Structure 1
Amino acid sequence: MNIKLKEIDKDTLKVGDVVGVAREVSYRWKSSFRHKMIYPAKITRITPKRTKFFTDKFGEHDKREVFYECDNEAARETFLAKTFRDIQDGIFELTELKRNDCIGKISDEDLPEVAEHMKAITEILKKYKEK
């Protein structure tokens, strides 16, 4: 999927504008996912020389910060980053269940549904294991 985020020219920004601020989704030591979370933030202050920008959510940004338009492309980027984070959280929960020996406590009513979902997940992941 090819997503093109539109950068905003900082010279055109003014106080009150809403911009997208990108933040990485990390998953290992010094590793991050290829898609970023784009958070909408409102510009609250700009220094006279336009070297620093301040937003309501993140505070101070330096001149190297890239701001993006909050459009459909940014929404798709954020959606993919969120789904990756959900996968990460699910893997963590499974690991905790196994580590705490709670996986054997799954009720008989839930067991068929859990097995069905787990089978679907492993089928998808098999194609990445072979690479």
Structure 2
Amino acid sequence: MPRKSDRRDLLADTALRLIDDSGLAQVTHRAIDKAAGVPDGTTSNYFRTRSALYEAIVRRLLDLQLADLDRLAVTPLPGSPAELLDLLAATVEAVTARPATATWPESSCRWKPRGIPSWPLSCARCAPARSR
């Protein structure tokens, strides 16, 4: 049986793919269950509300972006202009390699989904992850 954190990541990753394919309006608990190949009700069990689901999606995106940056942080400092260019290219590639949703957290914090009155609070909760 998968660990709870693995299942959460699977569901959030599936939601990101759905957002990229169909847009945020099409991302529902049922759609995620179907696309992830998990039993009906699984996403709802992990993320009871749409707000909780959106928060998990934003957190997952931030975790993925931070992991990309952490991998680059262990790269030795460049010793020549050519090595600097290689490092810059790797940085740009890491940041842009994700789907279009990779830049979604920043814009989503300024955008309030209908019916989610606590959305700005979710973004405030993600602020510590962004400051890492």
TM-score of the alignment, normalized to the shorter chain, above 0.5: no
| TM-score, normalising length: structure 1 | 0.32
| TM-score, normalising length: structure 2 | 0.32
Q: Give the strand-richer structure, 1 or 2.
A: 1
Q: Give the helix-richer structure, 1 or 2.
A: 2
